[in-house]
Amino acid sequence: MNDFIKSLFPLLGTALGGPAGTMLGGVAASFIADKLGLEAHTVESVKELLSAGKLSADQVAALKLAEIDFQKWTETNKVDVLKLEVADRGDARDMLKITRSNMPATLTIILGAGFFAVLGAMFVYPEVKESPPLMIMLGVLGSEFSSACKFWFGTTNSSHDKNQMLANSTPVK
């Protein structure tokens, strides 16, 4: 799920693309499919529509309503989507501590190198901008490199939470 959708609809975007599991993603997809009038209520069909990048103003408004309804559902069922996402990232970091694998760092380097290589090629060879497959590759690499950086450095959500916790804490004497 791209960051643009997550920024507009954080709960739905996190549930669809996040670690919260297929059940929660399926629930989010059902809310979206209902509001957009999609026949298939699957995560794949919803992701396909959202990834196309061709949402009308009416569809954006319907998605906002779906976000509100999904938020009510999560509150009623006591589901904290963002906490699930943070816990999953913590599990991945804990696994890294135990296994001491170089693979996450290697993948991050490969994704970054690929992203900047394609971006550099666009500057050196302007005609490359006319290649739809290359533009898709740039989008995917950029999105995945962003996700890899969030794994290593955290997100603004967790930074915001940390700042709030520090602001509300009392200094040790």
Mark which of 50, 80, 110 sits at the end of a domain: 80
pLDDT tens-place values along the chain, 173 residues long: 456 666 677 777 777 765 544 567 777 788 888 888 888 777 777 777 777 777 788 888 888 888 888 878 777 777 666 566 555 556 666 677 777 788 888 988 999 998 998 888 888 988 877 888 888 888 888 888 888 887 777 665 555 555 556 666 666 65
Contacts 24+ apart (CB under 8 A), 85-91: 85/14, 85/18, 85/19, 85/20, 86/157, 86/158, 88/18, 88/19, 88/20, 89/19, 89/150, 89/151
Domain assignment present for residue 106? The answer is yes
Same structural domain for residues 19 and 72?
A: yes
pLDDT at 138: 85
pLDDT at 20: 42
Cβ-based neighbours of 19, under 8 Å, separated by 6 or more: 84, 85, 88, 89
Domain range for residue 138? 102-168
Domain assignment present for residue 97? The answer is no
Mark which of 48, 80, 112 sits at the end of a domain: 80
